[in-house]
């Protein structure tokens, strides 16, 4: 097996372990979305999806 894969795997596991306590805390502390909040996110993200598809078609 390629040695770089093993180092990448160790690095990613370390990232997950470092991120895990912070992620748990963030998931606990995140305020609940109010009416219309997700709508305000979906619209710009739909723009990103459309824009990326356009770029793929251009190259």
Partner 1 sequence: MNRLDISAARPTESVLSTNKLIKNTYILLSMTLLFSAVTAAASVMLNVPGWTYMASIIGAFLLIWLVLPRTAHSSTGLVVVFGITGLMGFGLGPILNMYLSMANGPQLVGTAMAGTGIIFLGLSGYALSSKRDFSFMGGFLVAGLLVVFMAILANLFIALPALQLAISAAVIMLMSGFILYDTSRMVNGGETNYIMATIGLYLNIYNIFVHLLSLLGALSGDD
For partner 1, the binding residues in 28-57 under the rule CB under 8 A are: 28-34, 37, 40-41, 44-45, 47-49, 51-52, 55-56
Mark 10-48 as b/e (b = at least 16 C-beta within 10 Å).
Answer: eeeeeeeeeeeeeeeeeeeeeeeeeeeeeeeeeeeeeee
Q: Which two tokens stand for residue 19?
A: 């991120």
Encoding tokens for residue 57? 């078609």
Q: Please state the closest distance from residue 36 (CB atom) to partner 1, in A.
A: 9
Residues near partner 1, by CB under 8 A = 4-5, 7-9, 11-13, 15-16, 18-20, 22-23, 26-34, 37, 40-41, 44-45, 47-49, 51-52, 55-56, 58-59
């Amino acid at each position: 097996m390629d040695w770089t894969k093993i180092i990448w795997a160790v690095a990613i596991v370390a990232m997950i372990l470092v991120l895990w306590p912070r992620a748990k805390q963030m998931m606990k502390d995140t305020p609940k979305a109010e009416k219309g909040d997700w709508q305000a996110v979906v619209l710009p993200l739909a723009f990103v999806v459309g824009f990326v598809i356009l770029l793929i078609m251009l190259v």
